[in-house]
Amino acid sequence: MNATWILADGNRITVPVDAGLNLMDAAVQADVPGIDGDCGGCLSCATCHVYVDEAWVEAAGVADVMEEGMLEVVEAERKPSSRLSCQLTMDDSLDGIVLHVPSVD
């Protein structure tokens, strides 16, 4: 299975991701710029904020109440497709997912 992160400058990073691994951990392991994961995926920092590509919004699902609360404090603009990548776990339904890394100028 694979995931792709599109950086604010347009560069793409595509890496294999094992089933069961959250996409924040996958991004940190792949050194994706802009995905810090400061809290280690404990849903307490919002440093793994991404925009789910429009084609993948339905497959990614919606944020739960806890994630919604953290999305209120993201540094970059919050959009309807905003998710915390620590809350997205790779499985067959997300194979090929595309995530946009927001710019935090």
> What is the CATH number for 21?
3.10.20.30
Question: Looking at the DSSP assignment, which residues form a beta bridge with residue 51?
Answer: 82, 100
Asked if residue 74 belongs to a domain, the reply is yes
Total domain count, the chain? 1
Tell me the pLDDT tens digit for each residue of 55-105.
Answer: 999 999 999 999 999 999 999 999 999 999 999 999 999 999 999 999 866
Say if residues 23 and 52 touch (Cβ distance below 8 Å).
no
Instruction: Go through the chain and tell me how many residues it has.
Output: 105
Q: Which domain holds residue 12?
A: 2-98
Domain assignment of residue 104, yes or no:
no
Mean pLDDT of the chain: 95
State how far the alpha carbon of 92 is from the alpha carbons of 9, 14, 89, in Å: 29, 16, 10
Residue 32 placed within a domain: yes
Query: 105 in a domain, yes or no?
Result: no
Above pLDDT 90, what percent of the chain? 87
First-to-final CA distance of the chain:
32
Rg of the chain in Å (alpha carbons):
12
